[in-house]
A and B are shown apart, each in its own frame.
Chain A
């Protein structure tokens, strides 16, 4: 899928799950092959929960340089009716590996769609003080241009030329609904009471998944 097709698939609210997965895979491939690397440090990759399997995981697997640690944060936009301005993000679940000791890391924040600057900033607030990176890269399949500019201004203030935002596509359109639609469509579980978790990510901590029983999910 080329860049134009990827963009159209991501913003089309009628796209099927399989089409979205192909689009995110194509975007992550382009990003890892062209924009992400090589670096002279190890990556510490941070992904979002709703699209981890389809985007951040693909990026992690596709990187040429070593990945010293991985985190996944399940951030969700808070709906505060009286609030004007930027949305804020709550994080009700996290998977955070320690960063490899005595190694300089480049922090890589991955998210398929960046619609709000506060979402990657919430990830930075949680992870950056722990990893203490020398440089930061934000990678997205799709980003809003104004969000990109504001994020870039903040990152440059702290990291100077060691801050970079790379994306497969960008748009001036509001992406908040696009992010919600993609999150809903990627979740293929019958019951969605708890946040969706990537099998690949969990196996980094719990070892390979035993043959699933698939008979015992909660039905109340």
Chain B
């Protein structure tokens, strides 16, 4: 038997998934690019702390530019995206006018053009100054990634920041699907609301992106000390139990569970007692 390259084995196993997106017909690349931007922002919030709650809008009415619009409270400072999958795309009259009009009204905004191909992006990047469009950041998202984005190193790196488990690779497919599926269904709304839906779609295997209260962290530490063989951590709305073999993300109403003094009195003194307390163990009597 030939030696198996386990990295390609994992990629091939994930690529066995046949999945389309019912909502995406006719605008596949745009929805794909929007979902990647949403993912990028989620990963960024995860790394840099949960700050403001941006809102997303697509195809903003009355706007000439926005395929995607990310607002940070002040409309003047929004992020405004054009997303194009056109082989012979040029700045030309339409694109130039669209960006310039928006920049006139909202000079403090950030402007992005996302295209489907690196060569198109290079060409537009090199010529943007000729049209007075230096303020537009040109980026590309390889359209070929649409088939199996969960195998792309760049997208995996973003997903990794959001997956709770230490072992990330077996979560990439489900995580990407939860993000893409949820985004494609709404494409509008506040980040926190969309993320709550993403968390549910992922079966709560993603970082909740909510701050954990100090009181909850202290309780988790106290349980860990008391239990000994199982570490307990709080992360927003989930409790994480882990040791050398067990890893569990429990979507308990954490805030309620961790802050309820009666529930933790007496404190569980072993892993068995903790798991019993959480109602995890099968009832062998029935």
Q: Give A residues with C-beta under 8 Å from B.
A: 17, 53, 76, 78-86, 88-98, 117-118, 121-122, 124-126, 128-129, 132, 134, 150, 154, 157-160, 162, 187-199, 202, 205-206, 209-210, 212-214, 216-218, 220
Interface string of B201-230 (1 = CB under 8 A from A): 111110000000000000000000000010
For chain B, the bracket of interface size reads 35 or more
Q: How far is B286's CA from A214's CA once the two chains are assembled, in angstroms?
A: 13
The answer to whether residues A84 and B282 also contact, given A92-B204, A94-B246, A160-B1 and a CB cut-off of 8 A, is no
Our pick among B16, B167, B182, B245 for the contact of A80 (Cβ within 8 Å) is B182
Of A17, A121, A157, A220, the contact of B256 (CB 8 Å cutoff): A220
**A209 touching B6 in the complex, CB below 8 Å, given contacts A90-B178, A92-B204, A93-B248:** no
- B148-197: which residues lie under 8 A (CB-CB) from chain A? 165, 167, 169-171, 173-175, 177-178, 181-182, 184-185
- Chain B neighbourhood of A197, CB < 8 A: 275, 280-282
A90 in contact with B182 (CB, 8 Å): no
Q: How many Å lie between the Cα of A149 and that of B173 in the bound state?
A: 22
Complex interface: chain A residues within 8 A of B13 (CB): 121, 124-125, 154
CA distance A159 to B171 in the complex (A): 23
- A89–B167 Cα distance when bound, in Å, is 15
Q: CA of A65 to CA of B7 in the docked complex: distance in angstroms? A: 29
Partner of B170, one of A82, A122, A191, A196: A122
- Please provide the 3 A-B residue pairs with the shortest distance between their CB atoms, ordered closest to farther: A80-B181, A126-B170, A90-B203
B272 A125 Cβ-Cβ under 8 A: no
Contacts of B167 in A (CB 8 A): 94, 126
Q: Are A78 and B178 in contact (CB under 8 A)?
A: yes
9 CB < 8 A contacts A-B: A83-B22, A88-B173, A125-B169, A187-B282, A189-B283, A205-B245, A205-B271, A212-B281, A217-B277
**Across the interface, which residues of A come within 8 angstroms of B205, CB to CB?**
90-92
Q: How far is the CB of A118 from chain B (nearest CB, A)?
A: 6
Q: Which residues of B contact A192 (CB under 8 A)?
A: 279
Question: A112 CA to B185 CA in the complex, in Å?
Answer: 33
Given the interface contacts A85-B20, A90-B174, A118-B17, does A129 sit within 8 Å of B245 by beta carbon? Answer: no
Interface status of B140 (Cβ within 8 A of chain A):
no
List of B residues within 8 angstroms of A216 by Cβ: 276-277
Q: Are A218 and B279 in contact (CB under 8 A)?
A: yes
Which residues of B sit under 8 angstroms from A92, Cβ to Cβ? 203-205, 248-251
Name the A residues within 8 Å of B286 (CB-CB).
17, 188
Q: How near does chain A come to B18, taking the closest CB pair, in angstroms?
A: 4
B276 touches A88 (CB 8 A): no
Query: Please, how many angstroms separate the alpha-carbon atoms of A122 and B169 in the complex?
Result: 10
Chain B residues, CB < 8 A from A97: 245
Partner of B279, one of A53, A118, A194: A194
Chain B residue at minimum C-beta to C-beta distance from A122: B170
Residue of A nearest to B21 (CB): A82
Query: Which of B6, B173, B276, B281 is in CB contact (< 8 Å) with A132?
Result: B6
Q: Which of B10, B18, B281 is close to A85, meaning CB atoms less than 8 Å apart?
A: B18
Pick from B22, B169, B248: contact of A82, CB under 8 Å:
B22
Given A79-B201, A88-B177, does the pair A128, B9 have CB atoms closer than 8 Å?
yes
Interface string of B237-251 (1 = CB under 8 A from A): 000000111111111
The answer to whether A202 and B275 touch across the interface, beta carbons within 8 angstroms, is yes
B23 within 8 A of A: yes
B252 sits at the interface (CB 8 A): yes
The residue on B at minimum CB distance from A71 is B245
Report chain B residues within 8 Å CB of A160. 1
Extra contacts besides A86-B17, A188-B282 (12): CB < 8 Å: A80-B177, A84-B21, A90-B174, A92-B248, A118-B173, A125-B14, A125-B170, A126-B167, A128-B9, A129-B169, A199-B282, A218-B263
Q: Is the CB of A199 within 8 A of B284?
A: yes
A205 to B169, CA, bound (A): 25
Q: Does B52 contact A (CB under 8 A)?
A: no
Contact B252 A193 (CB under 8 A): yes
| Min C-beta distance of B273 to chain A, whole Å | 8
Report the separation of the CA atoms of residues A198 and B174 in the bound assembly, to the nearest whole angstrom: 25
Chain B residues contacting A193 (CB-CB under 8 Å) are 250, 252, 278-279
